[in-house]
Amino acid sequence: MAFRFELLHQSTLSRARVGRIHTSHGIIDTPNFVAVGTNGTIKGLDNETVDAIGLQLMFCNTYHLLLQPGTEVVRQAGGLHRFINRKLPIITDSGGFQVFSLAYGSVADELKSRGAKKSEGHVLKINEEGVWFRSYRDGRKVLLTPESSIAAQKAFGADIIIPFDELPPYHIDEGKLRRSLERTHRWEKRSLDEHLKSPNGQAIYAVVHGGVDQELRRQSCRFLSDLPFDGYAIGGSVGKNKEEMSAMLKDAVPRLPEEKPNHLLGIGDLQSLDALVPLGIDTFDSSYPTRAARHGFLLTWNGGIKAEKAECAAQFGPIEEGCHCTTCQNFSLAYLHHLFKARELTAYALATVHNLTFMVEKMRRMREAIAQNRI
């Protein structure tokens, strides 16, 4: 089935909207949360379990999959869905974010002064063609270009793919940011052209850039909206705090084609979801709930629970009454506390099942609230 976005309801209270993305692997109800399964697996869970949780979209990273297992293995397996045994939709990124994080350090590193460029040795050359870098797996040189990124994403066969873009550092002067944006636009156009040679039922989302420069963001929205992308992701530096991010998105989102789905890259904590769904964002990917789970931080409707805290030791009920996840159905908070204290792998899996189920339910409730014009 061809990719299609259906707008079901526009809130009367905000820009929040309820929609439905149709893909050949099923429906994604929006707004929705997208869990990160970098290497083709949500850490600690097998994909049968993830499907059962009802996670409608999973985010895999082209950079990682390109190096391990490599494009050819996934192609031979019959695509990523078959290789990893996922029946529901998948989105892949372009690899741009990771290679430029290698070059410049991540935005988070930069903002937190954790020392950017720590891994710059791996990036060998950046020019108009693309980026040469050295594989951390086997030391071979790899060229990532708009064309090779799309070729990889074709081999993977994700339902939604993303054009190759440049991720400029957060601290950059206006001139450099403008030149970076212009290159990103050329790269996205090349990516789109490459994609359109054989769409294969995949959708391609543009990535809006421009950092925290309002004028450049607007330019990016204009430029990309004029191209026949199937949806619009918002990437690059979204700001050094939630206020900067909200201000940028408040201005940018209304400039994107309303009839197409949009996606916010890399943001999906609970506070951001509450703040940004009203701005009209449709999907959000983040490793927040799965990483939190592995650190023993359990999400509930009354806030988070730190599983290792002493007060959990004798809580023989589930993490949360009424939760229908298999962890809460079968195991007590006391047992989870014990597994975390004993550093048992099982703890990570059980906590991840709970947190992902919470996110699925959270987004269901948000859609319900929008439908009732309460958001």
CA–CA separation, 344 vs 350, rounded Å? Answer: 11
The catalytic position among 29, 93, 165, 230 is 93
Contacting residue, 2, 6, 76, 222, with a second copy by CB under 8 A:
76
Candidates 63, 284, 348, 358; binder of a second copy (CB under 8 A) is 348
Least separation in angstroms between residue 231's CB and a second copy is: 28
Asked if 69 is part of the footprint of a second copy (rule: CB under 8 A), the reply reads yes
Q: For a second copy, give the closer residue by CB, 319 or 366.
A: 319
Q: By CB under 8 A, is residue 83 in contact with a second copy?
A: yes
Nearer to a second copy, 215 or 344 (CB): 344
Minimum distance of a second copy from residue 46's CB (angstroms):
6
- Minimum CB separation of residue 174 from a second copy in Å reads 40
Pull the structure tokens for residue 48: 């049968």
- Structure-derived torsion over alpha carbons of residues 260, 265, 161, 187, reported in degrees to the nearest 10: 100
109 is catalytic: no
Question: Residue 102, interface with a second copy (CB under 8 A)?
Answer: no
Select from 92-100, 148-156, 248-256, 341-349 the region that touches a second copy (CB under 8 A). Answer: 341-349
Among 6, 46, 311, 368, binds a second copy (CB under 8 A): 46
- Beta bridge partners of residue 298, listed in sequence order: 305
Q: Rule CB under 8 A: which of 184-223 touch a second copy?
A: none
Residue 341 near a second copy by CB under 8 A: yes
The residue (of 64 and 183) whose beta carbon lies closer to a second copy is 64
Structure tokens at 23: 């893909």
In the region spanning residues 132 to 171, those forming contacts with a second copy, defined by CB under 8 A, are none
- By CB under 8 A, is residue 92 in contact with a second copy? no
Closer residue to a second copy, CB minimum distance, 175 or 343: 343
Beta bridge partners of 165: none
Q: Is the CB of residue 40 less than 8 Å from the CB of residue 60?
A: yes
CA distances from 88 to 18, 26, 61 (A): 20, 6, 17
Closest CA to 22 of 7, 36, 6, 37: 6
User: How many of the chain's residues bind a second copy (CB under 8 A)?
Assistant: 41
Q: Is 285 a catalytic residue?
A: yes
- 84 or 144: whose CB is closer to a second copy? 84
Tell me which residues touch a second copy (CB under 8 A). 39-48, 64, 68-69, 73, 76-78, 83-85, 313-314, 316, 326-327, 330-332, 334-335, 337-339, 341-342, 344-346, 348-350
Residues taking part in catalysis: 93, 285
